[in-house]
Structure 1
Amino acid sequence: MIERAKKWDITDIGLEEGMKRLTPEKIEKAVNRVLRGEGLARIKTYVDTCIHCGLCSAACHHYLSNDCDPSFAPVAKIKETLWEILKRKGKLTPEFIKKMAEIAYTECNMCKRCAMYCPFGIDIAWMLSLIRRICHFCGVVPQYLQDTVNSHSVTMNQMWVKQDEWIDTLQWQEEDAQDMVSTVRIPLDKEGADVMYSVIGPEPKILAQLLANAAVIMTVAGIDWTMPSFDGWDNSDMAMYSGDWEVMGRIKKAHFEAAMRLKVKKIVMGECGHAFRSVYDVGNRTLGWKMHPIPVIHAIQFYYELLCEGRIKIAKKIKEPVTLHDPCNVIRGRGLHEMARYIMQEICEDFREMWPNREYNYCCCAGGGVINCGPPWKTKRVDSNKVKAEQLQRTGAKILVTPCHNCHSGMEDIINYYKLDMHTKFISELLIECMEIPEGLKA
């Protein structure tokens, strides 16, 4: 296996120390638990179906951005990990597990673009998620990502936000929002509301202004809404990406139970892609639910519906050139691309498409838990998305809209690293600038 980390001079305590604690028995037990107990039939189908055509290569931003190095091709990542496991019948060394972890956690964003280009629809992201699960049971996980999962496990949110801090932040943002709309309230624990609004942990921690934005939009639109004061308000889920699906199930259960406890009609999730996927596609299945107990929609759909129904009106449009990044989990994974474009056309005078776009768009290289692997892997991450930087630069846009938190952070890193003349915004930030606030509501 290629010593990729040496190229970027990376040391990760989670991988190094985890590897030292491994024994042959522990490795074999982890492999058998995952492959025999959770995925062998599907794995066999995929492995026997793959014809090694390499069409997945040109779909992968890691491959394209690393000078088309064949070792970064999706099929190569499977060959260096899963195929080796099957060939060796689970008899693996600690060093092999460490290298396997590096490939699975830092060289695949689970974006599933490769699956679109595979003539047989082989889900390479799913296979690499099993590799991550083996690494989880082996205790070989990037330290920053594992720390985030630990926070989820203890506090039910990824940023270790305590209940009093959460409530205090909501009250603070309610006061800030009242500087724009005098009647704004952030209703806590209101039973029977139409909407429970949920967000991800970084919002109260580092992007609290987005909570004020949501409160203004809800108030102007006349939405009957609430937020929980208790666990379940954080809809994010890094355990889904670490391979700790047991913690993932606990997080999703808390989220849905919060909504059921408040007896709301639906959940509206903030602008986050992985959190949305964890609720509509992964977490519910982990809990054994075919469908959600309460309807769930993403912020893109929510804003689209508000505009279509005339519940919010546009008073002015953004004049600067704007482009839109299509987050993998809500566009390729959920098909909200035309709704997002409707919003952009409504609020932007000069909207410019990047190419390719919609479900064919390149991943931000931050999702899939990769940005949560932390600072040790940052340079490798931005180097591995040169293709995205080139895509952004071609638009000539000054504003990049990214309706997803991981995309937003990842894009900022790319913009700074490649010195691009643009800045990132969430949809809510542009809506606040553009929407009409009735005279009777103005502060």
Structure 2
Amino acid sequence: MGIAERLIEDVGLRRGVSKLTPEKIEKIVNAVITGETGARLKAYSETCMRCGLCAEACHFSQSHPDDPSFTPAGKVHQTMGVLLKTGGRVDPDFIYGMAQLAYTECNLCRRCVHFCPIGVDTGYIMSTVRRICHKLGVTPQYIQDTAHSHSATSNQMWVKDDEWTDSLMWQEDEAREEFPGLRIPLDKEGADIYYSVIAPEPKFRTQLIYQAAAIMHAAGADWTMPSEPGWDNSDMCMFTGDFEMMGRLKRRHFESAQKLKVKRIVMGECGHAFRSVYDVGNRWLGWRWHPVPVIHAVEYYWELIQEGKIKLAKKFPGPVTIQDPCNIVRGRGLEDKLREVTRFLVEGEIIEMHPNKEHNYCCAAGGGVINCGPPFKNQRVAGNEVKARQLAATAERGVKTVITPCHNCHGGLHDIIHHHKLGMDLKFLSDIIYECMEKPEA
């Protein structure tokens, strides 16, 4: 079954294609291909052997084993392959199906790269397809609304400037009941650490800010958070294909840190945001490397443990399993540090999913797919039956807790666990560190 047989109605996609003409499509397709791509796309498009090995890599393909249109090669063939073959001469209906496929049936997890004998990066190709869709004005409504929020407020949740600082002051006040000496320092110049989060934290997961402050306080960290826009390190524009706005967001983030003259940025437990700051947005801006060093929370917690700055009053009861976030494992290589931190915190067995580490399956929420909203939720959950089987296999061995240091993984796995009635809990590392660490002031 091809994409034409499984179209889902989305107001953003429908409105976008209603404004297209074949002439506009051809012009924009060729402008992107000739002006923004080069040898990389040409090499991938001319060397793919259609061998089928990538079918083993993709969770969508493994969850629909009898439908080759879900394989990475099949997705490329149905989208970029057609654009290159026709020179962009396609009709608006084709663009609708292409956009649905690129935004909701590929998580850009890049697991397929590990299986391709010549290293074709389907994630890059699908990102280029999304870039074309953005330039055509054809994006799913929910994720486009989030991109509009980035444009208007520099954060993805329409959090106003005073709401941001109020949230920090509120969490500091709450935490001081437990830790009387705790502060969340705002705009402290020259601090060792600039701690940045994604906008869902002040919006509806404020406990994570509380926990981060408690950990920083217990570790004696020299840290700060900014009061001005730039604090949100998330980036749905990277996923819609709005690279101009992505660049503005990353510039603002780095300039906020530079203004405070901090030594480095520590990013909270999010995968896509780390990818945007560490590997994509900085490159779009033309920087050879980051103007301020960047590390993920997993790396920072690992450092604190190595330096003896986190002391435990108890251990978290196992067995547990670990979800490897694509963007910090395949994209940064933090699989071993993630496990070292987990072993430090957990009493009992770590029961690995199989496969695991850089070969673990994506949560099916990343790459902006979960942000495309309710119209595509059932398709997203059905597209990751293979992850449900992975989780169920650990549950059969007694696992009740899944540790994953990524917001999107939490969202995706929550939907899978709920749908399949697996009865498992999800934990961030900060949840466990806060729960188990010594709290001498408390």
Bucket of the pairwise TM-score, normalised by the shorter protein: over 0.9
Shift of 1:154: 0.8
Match of 2:316 among 303, 315, 318: 318
| In 1: Cα distance, 2:268 partner to 2:86 partner | 44
Tell me which amino acid in the other structure corresponds to 2:353.
M
Structure 1 window deviating more from structure 2 (289-298 vs 349-358): it is: 349-358
- Residue type matched to 2:313 in 1? A
Q: C-alpha separation between the residues in 1 aligned to 2:391 and 2:114?
A: 22
1:5 is aligned to 2:6: yes
Question: Matches of 1:21 and 1:274 in 2, distance apart?
Answer: 31
Measured in 2, the distance between the counterparts of 1:369 and 1:162 equals 23
Which of 431, 434, 438 is the aligned partner of 2:433? 431
Give the structure 1 partner of residue 406 of structure 2: 404
Aligned partner of residue 141 in structure 1, secondary structure: coil
Q: Which amino acid aligns with 1:280?
A: Y
* 1:346 alignment counterpart: 344
Q: SS of the counterpart of 1:330?
A: helix
Task: Find the aligned partners of 2:261 and 2:306 in 1 and give their Cα distance.
Answer: 26
Is 2:289 aligned against 1:291?
yes
Q: 1:62 aligns with which of 57, 60, 63?
A: 60
8 Å CA contact 2:364–2:384 kept in 1: the answer is yes
Instruction: Give 1:180 deviation, angstroms.
Output: 2.3
1:39-78 equivalent positions in 2, closer than 5 A: 39-78=37-76
Residue 235 (structure 1) aligned with residue 233 (structure 2): yes
Q: Distance in 2 between matches of 1:30 and 1:275?
A: 28
Deviation of residue 298 (structure 1)?
0.1
Match of 2:78 in 1: 80
The residue identity in structure 1 corresponding to 2:414 is E
Q: Confirm or deny that 1:19 pairs with 2:17.
A: yes
Equivalent residue, structure 1, for 2:375:
376
- Deviation, 1:4, is 4.3
Corresponding residue of 1:226: 224
Q: Is the 8 A contact 1:314 1:346 kept in 2?
A: no
Instruction: Give the TM-score, by structure 2 length.
Output: 0.97
Counterpart Cα distance in 1 of 2:387 and 2:146: 26
Q: Output the amino acid matched with 1:3.
A: A
- Secondary structure of the structure 1 residue equivalent to 2:295: strand
Which string of whole-angstrom CA distances, capped at 9 and with x for unpartnered residues, describes residues 157-205 of structure 1?
0000001000000011111212322211101011111100000010000
CA distance in 2 between counterparts of 1:437 and 1:295 reads 30
CA offsets 1:363-409 (integer angstroms, 9 cap, x no match)? 00000000000011100000000100110111121111110011111
Equivalent residue, structure 1, for 2:247: 249
Residues 271, 299 of structure 1: 8 Å contact kept: yes
Alignment partners' CA distance in 2, 1:303 and 1:219: 13
Q: Deviations over 1:347-366 (max 9, x none)?
A: 11122211111000000000
1:415 is matched with 417
In 2: Cα distance, 1:352 partner to 1:153 partner? 42
Contact preservation (8 Å) 2:403, 2:426: yes
Amino acid of the structure 1 residue aligned with 2:393: R
Cα distance in 2 for partners of 1:179, 1:94 equals: 59
Q: In the TM superposition, what whole-angstrom CA distance separates every residue of 1:213-246 from its partner, at most 9, and x where no partner exists?
A: 0000000000010000001100000000000000
Q: Which residue of 1 aligns with 2:354?
A: 355
Return the letter of the residue paired with 1:26. K
* CA distance in structure 2 between the aligned counterparts of 1:431 and 1:4, rounded to whole angstroms: 47
- 1:97-145 C-alpha deviation (Å, 9 max, x unpaired): 0000011001100000001110001111101100001100111100001
Q: Deviations over 1:242-293 (max 9, x none)?
A: 0000000000001000000000000000000000000110000010001001
SS at match of 1:323: strand
Q: Please say if 1:202 is aligned against 2:200.
A: yes
Q: Which amino acid aligns with 1:403?
A: P
In the other structure, the counterpart of 2:140 is 142
| CA 4–325 in structure 1, closer or farther in 2 if over 3 Å, else same | farther
Partner of 1:390: 389
Superposition deviation, residue 315 in structure 1:
1.8
Q: Distance in 1 between matches of 2:45 and 2:34?
A: 15
Are the counterparts in 2 of residues 269 and 298 from structure 1 also a CA contact under 8 Å? yes
Q: For the residues of structure 2 that align with 1:210 and 1:179, how far apart are their CA atoms?
A: 16
Displaced runs of 4 or more, over 4 A: none
1:95-114 equivalent positions in 2, closer than 5 A: 95-114=93-112
SS in 2 for 1:343: helix
On the 8 A contact 2:267/2:294 being kept in 1, the answer is yes
**Which of 91, 94, 99 is the equivalent residue of 1:93?**
91
Q: State the Cα distance separating 1:68 from its structure 2 match.
A: 3.8
The equivalent of 1:367 in structure 2 is 366
Q: Which amino acid aligns with 2:47?
A: T
Q: Determine if contact 1:24/1:93 at 8 Å carries over to the other structure.
A: yes
Give the deviation of 1:2 after TM superposition. 3.2
1: CA distance, partners of 2:392 / 2:437: 29
Say whether the 8 Å CA contact 2:3–2:101 is kept in structure 1. no
Q: Which residue of 2 aligns with 1:275?
A: 273
In structure 2, how many angstroms separate the alpha carbons of the residues matched to 1:381 and 1:303? 32
Q: CA deviation at 1:54?
A: 0.7
Q: What's the offset of the Cα at 1:340?
A: 0.5
User: Does the aligned pair in 1 maintain the 2:30–2:87 contact within 8 Å?
Assistant: no
> Counterparts of 2:361 and 2:288 in 1: how far apart (Å)?
30
Q: Give the partner amino acid of 1:425.
A: K
SS in 2 for 1:3: helix
